[in-house]
Amino acid sequence: MTAIKPIEELNHPLPVDYPFLADTYSTPPGIGHPVKKWLPTLFFYKEMLKIVFQSAKLAKAGAFTSDLWTDASLKIVRALEGVGGRFEIEGTDYFKTIEGPCVFIGNHMSTLETFVLPCLIEPMREVTFVVKHQLVDMPVFGHIMRSRNPVVVGRTNPREDLVTVLEEGSARLRDNISVVVFPQSTRSLRLDPKLFNTIGIKLAKKAGVPVVPVALKTNAWGMGFFIKDFGRIVPKQTVHFRFGEPMNITDNGKRQHMEIYSFIQNSLEEWEEKDEWEETNQE
């Protein structure tokens, strides 16, 4: 494995104490405001909406740069930590050492990963997302998403979505922009093999780039009953992100697809058991 890029060679200038320069990160103990911990949903959304509106204003004016995206993403992490949330992040060294762009393939559990992944990835390599058209059409957040030049799909016609991802995704990768793909058609707390499609594998194979598995557990940001994006904030649910070893796609990619699925499934089972043990022993 090659050495990690020195700070002066990162995608964007960062302070030496940037929290995600190391391979792992754990929220330090004692972070969080005691009052905010009593009303985490209220105080988190208050801060989150402030960040979103400020970022959207800049994006609408064409001034929302990649470093500002990174900064806004980090503020979301701090906002969740501020109400008592905890993060455990592992394996960022894996994608820091890749020469050229890659395709990140992960499960999709909540809105949180879309907000957090930029501050984990963007400082090391330019990145964008495959997103549903509803995200770019939203009145406020849509300005932010469009500024990131995403690959936009409809999620109603799988054949059309595949063509779009292969063509536009390959174009982003040729421009040295990595792409995050959530193969599940919608957010879900459970991983279903029937819904975990191979669209990310096919993109990586067509573009001739490696894939990086991403396992995540982000149910600290719950799904709302009336508005799916605005659910209850549950700080006791630790937020986990784990990146795996890069893979080159060989043959039809079925083996790599199953390895990515297993990596995510095994991580989810491990985290669920760990979090249940910690919750029991804290009572």
Nearest to 182 by CA among 207, 163, 168, 165: 165
What is the predicted pLDDT for the residue at 5? 45
Reported pTM: 0.91
Q: Taking the CA atoms of the chain, what radius of gyration do you get in angstroms?
A: 18
Own/partner pairs, 251-255, CB within 8 angstroms, 24+ separation: 253/198, 253/201, 253/202, 253/204, 253/205, 254/198
Give me the DSSP letters along 39-72.
SHHHHHHHHHHHHHHHHHHHHHTT---HHHHHHH
What is the predicted pLDDT for the residue at 226? 54
CA 20 to chain centre: 14
Measured CA to CA, the distance from residue 98 to residue 81 in angstroms comes to: 30
Nearest to 115 by CA among 200, 210, 212, 47: 47
DSSP letter, residue 224: P
> 9-25: string of b/e by CB count within 10 Å (b at 16+)?
ebbbebeeebbbbeeeb
Q: Which residues pair with 129 in a beta bridge?
A: 180
What is the predicted pLDDT for the residue at 100? 93
Domain limits, the chain: 7-282
What is the predicted pLDDT for the residue at 244? 97
Kindly report the number of other CB atoms within 10 A of residue 128's CB atom: 21
What is the predicted pLDDT for the residue at 202? 97
The two three-digit tokens of residue 186, written as one number: 């919608």
Residue type for 259, please?
Answer: E
What is the predicted pLDDT for the residue at 184? 85
What is the predicted pLDDT for the residue at 92? 95
Measured CA to CA, the distance from residue 121 to residue 145 in angstroms comes to: 16
Measured CA to CA, the distance from residue 60 to residue 139 in angstroms comes to: 11
Give 10-residue mean pLDDT values along the chain (283 residues).
43 76 92 91 96 97 95 96 96 91 95 95 95 90 95 87 96 98 84 90 97 97 72 94 96 94 96 77 60
DSSP letter, residue 230: S
What is the predicted pLDDT for the residue at 222? 87
